[in-house]
Structure 1
């Protein structure tokens, strides 16, 4: 067995061990966790992905500069990911016994502020495109073209 095959085998075994360990700890929680294990991908595929796709098409028509379009798409995708991550906390804000300082916050406000920060960052990035990609002014040339026939 060469070194590459040995590394691959070690990575596969390590990944299988980690997945087995996670499954072992998930097993007792399965009656309550299965809703999120099934609902998460369905929510993403049925709601978030189409909404981001439609918004991306609209942004593509509004933002014509490809570099700025990339920044707009980044802000949109980041906002969608933040919203998807926040769904369990917004849906069921107290899933466990109260841990002071951890569960006693306003998750809706936190999501709003995080999305605003992501969109401001994308707007700054899109604005920087015009500052960094502008053509540099060149001084007019004072050299005379060479004479023809010399």
Structure 2
């Protein structure tokens, strides 16, 4: 197990080095570093605590995992699509927004919510069925 652990750690260090080298090769690496810092703050300071708090407040203990998973997926999808949606003017690359991203984001978020609701309903149904079998 330690060989695998050291191998993965070494691979991680190599990938960090490649990433640092690619950032340093950028014409303006400060912009990339500011974006990376903003992404870390947004995730660790807003998205993760929000998912945990909503999961605690909204559902019973057995269903928190489903809701948290749906919130993580929905938040990640929104964070990926949002910069393209709120950027003013035409995108520098015409192929960046070939489809209506706003509408498609709403559709995908609806699918995520539907799958999460179905998961919660199936879980509740299984619990009721199991309780009914125990009562017999």
TM-score, length basis structure 2? 0.70
Task: Return the structure number with greater relative CO, CA threshold 8 A, min gap 6.
Answer: 1
Higher mean alpha-carbon deviation, 104-113 vs 7-16, is at 7-16
Within the candidate set 13, 27, 44, 1:16 is matched to 13
- Shift, 1:137, TM fit: 4.8
Q: Distance in 1 between matches of 2:115 and 2:13?
A: 38
Mark the CA change 1:132 to 1:96 in structure 2 (over 3 Å): closer, same or farther: same
1:42 equivalent to 2:38? Answer no
* Structure 1: runs of 5+ lacking an equivalent: 141-150
- Shift, 1:13, TM fit: 3.7
1:132 equivalent to 2:126? Answer yes
Aligned residues: 130
- Shift, 1:95, TM fit: 5.8
Identify, as 1 or 2, the structure richer in helix: 2
1:79 equivalent to 2:81? Answer no
1:1-150 pair list within 5 angstroms: 4-5=2-3, 7-29=4-26, 30-59=29-58, 63-64=59-60, 66-92=61-87, 96-99=92-95, 102-133=96-127, 134-135=129-130, 136-137=132-133
SS in structure 2 opposite 1:98? coil
- Shift, 1:127, TM fit: 0.9
- Shift, 1:4, TM fit: 4.5
Q: Distance in 2 between matches of 1:34 and 1:83?
A: 21
Q: Distance in 1 between matches of 2:5 and 2:71?
A: 36
Q: Distance in 1 between matches of 2:125 and 2:77?
A: 29
* Structure 2: runs of 5+ lacking an equivalent: none
Contact 1:71 1:122 in 2 (8 A): yes
Q: Distance in 2 between matches of 1:44 and 1:105?
A: 27
Larger Rg: 1
Q: Distance in 1 between matches of 2:42 and 2:123?
A: 34
What CA RMSD, in Å, does the superposition of the two structures yield over aligned residues? 3.0
